[in-house]
């Protein structure tokens, strides 16, 4: 029977070809949008590693030239921290070089046992753990104990730990990403630290320590504070005033990380929403096209349908004929579409998306296309079933 | 073979009620070749459709091979049409999107059968009507007479015992009509098929064993 459906579809290829092309295009667009959605959803469901609840960031502009006045800068930062500690609205204070949701990244590569390893890197103060509610799965966060230590301490995420040391215990191990103080040692492990937010791709991550009195390195960092519950936006003004009295020539830019997250979401989701709208539009076009073609099909083919009944086809057979032909057309459209879109993972054109994401997206897209086909074919097929053979064959 | 008992058919539309058939009693024996004649609108096609299980009578009983089919459902009727009956129409009713071969195979699609077996039977039926050289043509590439021969091949491909032909020569010139008629006569003679043929042409009717005349939905004898 499938062979017969194929034959019918092939011999009516002019009208079916158009609808097949429509199905092909909407399938490709649908697949693209669903791949992006699946990618985002799966990222979103992975642990972020920190919480930005009630966290504000203060970016400090010293207005001093690059790599000069180091002592002045470090002293200024320490005095600022001290002054902020006096404010009752502030629960905890920390510092970080690359603030969550910011668009800057430090990426480092090194050879480890003859194998290239890459990691994203960030720098944080001892106080950051409480501000961002960072939980460690092993070891500890930075503390003043590290001041006297021979090697620099580092916190790494589980992904980097696994990448470097496999199943060995990473605590105390030296890691290959050298700073000017030599190779750091792992003191703590976090599940993850996805600085770029919920929708970002999980990457290897390493956090090194910002020492409060280190003037040898350029300590460009932003202050993060966690305010107490119920603190209003009005506090911002007092906060800035307090800081301005401590560091007279410096300027400060205060933002709530919730706002940063919001604009990050908007930026990432906007293309997805646009793609979703295009895909929905195409699907509606396909649905209307399908219903139109099928309807015309049934009304043009009443004689054929009557004839099939006369030759021994049941109403059920007629129903299956209309549905079957449409499924053949859809199958041809999505088959060509699948072959095309599967080139992306096969040729590894977009490296950061996992094969599982493509498979899930392909499955969802196929289900949607077939569901749409089924729904659009249902009514015309019912119409076809209702055709009375005697009447259909009667008049010219 | 076919028994019609007190058959009546009434068509009801919104306003009008048409009595298409009334008090039809008829017994057709196995292997008989019978013609039905009557003016246009006298109920010939309606009668044939009722015998062909394409339409149900409003009243009366119909039996095929001694089995009353009055209570049969769609599936059972379809099966009887498929196995026992072959139809030939005035306007051929070939499927234009299918080749000659595929058209002839249509009745076999509704049977459990392998593709190659279908092919074999279709080819044999086409040989029977002298069209085995045209299997890959499409209906539009054939003359009317050839199209009707394809339709006959399709009607006999499943080896039914009864053939119902509704004005099979009505759309053909006399030479082609003669050809079709001789094929039907040959089927009647060699296969002992039961044939019921509606015709307007008295010369065709003469060649059959018996003629039933209809006028205004009633039998006249
Ligand atoms: N489906 C139908 N609905 C209403 N009236 C019909 C229908 N089919 C046939 N008729 C009517 O029944 C009568 C007999 O029709 P038909 O059997 O086609 O006659 P014939 O084949 O002898 O020309 C006609 O009056 C025709 O108009
Ligand atoms: Mg008629």
Domain range list for chain A: 2-45+264-393, 64-249
Q: Does A178 touch chain B (CB under 8 A)?
A: no
Distances (CA, A) of B44 to A112, A313, B12: 94, 24, 18
Whether B191 has a pLDDT exceeding 70, the answer reads yes
In percent, how much of chain A has pLDDT > 90?
Answer: 74
Q: Is the pLDDT of residue A181 over 80?
A: no
Q: What is the pLDDT of residues B95-106, one digit of tens each?
A: 999 999 999 999
- Contacts for A86-91: CB closer than 8 Å, 24+ residues apart: A86/A242, A87/A238, A87/A239, A87/A242, A88/A228, A89/A227, A89/A228, A89/A231, A89/A235, A89/A239, A90/A225, A90/A226, A90/A227, A90/A228, A91/A54, A91/A130, A91/A225, A91/A226, A91/A227, A91/A228
More confident residue, B77 or A217: B77
Helix, strand, or coil (residue B162): strand
**Confidence (pLDDT) at A389:** 93
pLDDT of residue A62: 86
Phi/psi for B41 (5° steps) reads: 85, 5
Looking at residue B188, what DSSP letter applies? I
Please write the tens of the pLDDT for every residue from B21-57: 999 999 999 999 999 999 999 999 999 999 999 999 9
Looking up tokens 């009353």 gives B68
The pLDDT-based confidence of A217 (bands split at 50, 70, 90) is: low
DSSP for residue B165: E
Residue B133 has pLDDT above 90, yes or no: yes
Cα–Cα dist B34/B36, whole Å:
7
Q: Of B42, B154, B157, which Cα lies nearest the Cα of B168?
A: B154
pLDDT confidence band for A182 (50 / 70 / 90): confident
A152-184 burial: b if 16+ Cβ within 10 Å, else e = bbbbbbbbbbebbbeeeebeebebbbeeebeeb
pLDDT of amino acid A65: 83
Max Cα–Cα distance, chain B, nearest Å: 52
Please report residues of B whose CB lies closer than 8 A to that of A304: 93, 95
CATH 3.40.630.10 given to domain B2-219:
no
**Residue bearing tokens 């999505």:** A334
Beta bridge partners of A205: A120
pLDDT at A216 over 80: no
Mean pLDDT of B78-86: 96
Q: What is the pLDDT of residue A336?
A: 96
Q: Atom 11 (ligand 1): residue with closest C-alpha?
A: B20
Query: What is the average per-residue pLDDT within A125-148?
Result: 94
Q: Is the CB of A388 under 6 A from ligand 1?
A: no
B43 lines ligand 1 (CB under 6 A): yes
In 3D, which of A288, A326, A318 has the Cα closest to residue A301? A318
Residue-level pLDDT at A219 = 56
Mutational pocket test of ligand 1: of B43, B89, B213, the residue with most ligand atoms within 8 Å of the beta carbon: B43
Least Cα distance to B219 among B55, B63, B56, B42 occurs for B42
CA distance B212 to B209: 10
- When pLDDT is cut at 50, 70 and 90, the band that residue A395 belongs to is low
pLDDT value at position B216? Answer: 95
Q: Collect all residues from B whose CB is shorter than 8 A from any CB in A.
A: 45-46, 49, 52, 54-55, 74-75, 78-79, 81-83, 87, 89, 91, 93, 95, 97-98, 102, 106-107, 109-111, 115, 154, 158
- Looking from the CA of residue B46, the nearest atom of ligand 1 is 17
Q: What is the pLDDT of residue A213?
A: 74
Query: Which residue of chain A is at minimal alpha-carbon distance from B82?
Result: A312
Query: If pLDDT is split at 50, 70 and 90, which confidence band does A215 have?
Result: low
Mean predicted confidence (pLDDT) in A119-139: 96
| pLDDT tens digits, one per residue of A33-84 | 999 999 999 999 999 999 999 999 999 988 888 778 888 888 888 899 999 9
pLDDT tens figures, A106-115: 999 999 989 9
State which H helix or E strand residue A346 sits in: helix A343-346
Q: Is the CB of B90 under 6 A from ligand 1?
A: no
Strand partners, B19: B10
Q: Is the pLDDT of residue A370 over 90?
A: yes
Residue pair A186/A142 in contact (Cβ under 8 Å)? The answer is: no
Residues in chain B: 221
Pairwise CA distance, residues A47 & B10, whole Å: 75
Q: Is B38 in the pocket of ligand 1 (CB under 6 A)?
A: yes
How many Å apart are CA A366 and CA A348, to the nearest integer?
21
3-class DSSP string for B104-137: HHHHHHCCCCCHHHHHHHHHHHHHHCCCHHHCCC
Residue boundaries of the structural domains of chain B: 2-219
Model pLDDT for residues A261-281, shown as the tens digit of each residue: 999 999 999 999 999 999 999
């Amino acid at each position: 029977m499938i062979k017969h459906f194929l034959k019918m579809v092939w011999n009516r290829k002019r009208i079916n070809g158009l609808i097949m092309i429509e199905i092909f295009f909407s399938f490709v667009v649908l697949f693209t949008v669903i791949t992006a959605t699946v990618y985002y959803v799966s990222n979103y469901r992975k642990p972020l590693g920190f919480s930005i609840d009630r966290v504000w960031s203060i970016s400090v502009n010293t207005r001093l030239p690059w790599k000069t006045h180091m002592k002045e800068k470090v002293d200024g930062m320490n005095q600022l921290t001290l002054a902020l500690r006096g404010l009752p609205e502030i629960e905890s204070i920390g510092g970080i070089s690359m603030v969550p949701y910011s668009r800057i990244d430090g990426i480092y590569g090194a050879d480890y046992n003859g194998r290239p390893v890459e990691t994203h890197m960030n720098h944080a103060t001892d106080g950051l753990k409480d501000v961002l509610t960072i939980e460690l799965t092993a070891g500890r966060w930075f503390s003043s104990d590290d001041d006297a230590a021979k090697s620099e301490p580092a916190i790494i995420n589980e992904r980097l730990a696994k990448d470097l040391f496999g199943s060995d215990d990473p605590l105390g191990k030296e890691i290959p990403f050298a700073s000017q103080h030599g190779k750091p040692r792992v003191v703590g492990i976090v599940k993850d630290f996805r600085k770029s937010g919920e929708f970002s791709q999980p990457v290897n991550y390493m956090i090194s320590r910002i020492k409060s009195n280190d003037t040898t390195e350029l300590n460009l960092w932003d202050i993060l504070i966690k305010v107490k519950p119920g603190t209003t936006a009005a506090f911002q003004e007092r906060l800035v005033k307090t800081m301005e009295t401590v560091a007279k020539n410096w300027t400060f830019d205060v933002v709530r990380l919730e706002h940063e997250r919001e604009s990050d979401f908007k930026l990432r989701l906007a293309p997805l929403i646009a793609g979703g709208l295009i895909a929905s539009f195409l699907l509606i076009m396909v649905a209307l096209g399908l219903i139109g073609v099928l309807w015309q099909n049934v009304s043009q083919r009443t004689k054929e349908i009557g004839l099939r009944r006369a030759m021994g086809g049941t109403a059920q057979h007629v129903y299956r004929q209309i549905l079957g032909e449409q499924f053949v057309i859809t199958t041809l459209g999505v088959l060509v579409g699948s072959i095309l879109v599967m080139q992306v993972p096969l040729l590894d054109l977009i490296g950061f998306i996992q094969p599982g994401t493509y498979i899930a997206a392909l499955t969802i897209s196929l289900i949607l296309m077939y569901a749409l086909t089924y729904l659009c074919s249902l009514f015309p097929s019912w119409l076809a079933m209702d055709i009375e053979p005697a009447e259909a064959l009667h008049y010219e | 073979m076919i028994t019609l008992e007190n058959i009546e058919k009434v068509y009801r539309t919104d306003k009008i009620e048409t009595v298409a058939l009334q008090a039809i009693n008829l017994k057709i024996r196995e292997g008989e070749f019978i013609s039905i004649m009557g003016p246009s609108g006298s109920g010939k096609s309606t009668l044939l459709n009722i015998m062909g299980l394409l339409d149900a009578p409003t009243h009366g009983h119909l039996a095929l091979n001694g089995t009353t089919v009055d209570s049969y459902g769609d599936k059972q009727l379809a099966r009887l049409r498929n196995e026992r009956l072959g139809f030939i129409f005035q306007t051929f009713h070939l499927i234009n999107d299918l080749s000659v071969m595929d058209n002839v195979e249509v009745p076999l699609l509704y049977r459990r059968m392998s593709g190659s077996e279908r092919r074999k039977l279709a080819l044999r039926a086409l040989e029977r009507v002298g069209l085995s050289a045209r299997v890959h043509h499409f209906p539009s590439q054939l003359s009317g007479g050839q199209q009707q021969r394809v339709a006959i091949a399709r009607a006999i491909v499943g080896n039914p015992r009864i053939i119902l032909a509704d004005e099979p020569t009505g759309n053909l010139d006399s030479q082609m009509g003669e050809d079709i008629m001789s094929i039907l006569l040959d089927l009647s003679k060699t296969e002992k098929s039961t044939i019921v043929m509606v015709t307007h042409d008295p010369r065709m009717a003469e060649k059959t064993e018996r003629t039933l005349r209809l006028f205004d939905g009633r039998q006249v004898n």
